Amino acid sequence: MNSTTTGVLAGIALGFAAAFGGFGAFILVLVLGAAGFVVGRVLDGKLDVSALTGRGRS
């Protein structure tokens, strides 16, 4: 799945959250989506968090 498709799906999810759940649901979906994005980047190896965890190279 490319970045455009992922962005469209995220936009649709946020739109549904805003339309049916209100502002609180919109923010919740936004925060959880951002967390999922970061976890996905780490698992794909495209984001290095070793500096944050203190387990970097010595």
Q: Which residue has the higher pLDDT, 58 or 24?
A: 24
pLDDT digits (tens, 9 = 90+) for 27-55: 998 888 888 888 888 888 888 888 777 76
Inform me whether the pLDDT recorded for 58 exceeds 70: no
Three-state secondary-structure class, residue 34 = helix
pLDDT digits (tens, 9 = 90+) for 2-19: 777 888 888 889 999 989
**Residue 26 carries which side chain, given as an amino acid letter?**
F
pLDDT at 1: 75
CA 26 to each of CA 8, 12, 23, 45: distance values in angstroms, whole numbers, following the listed order? 16, 11, 5, 29
pTM of the model: 0.70
pLDDT at 21: 93
**Residue 51 carries which side chain, given as an amino acid letter?**
A
* Domain residue spans of the chain: 3-49
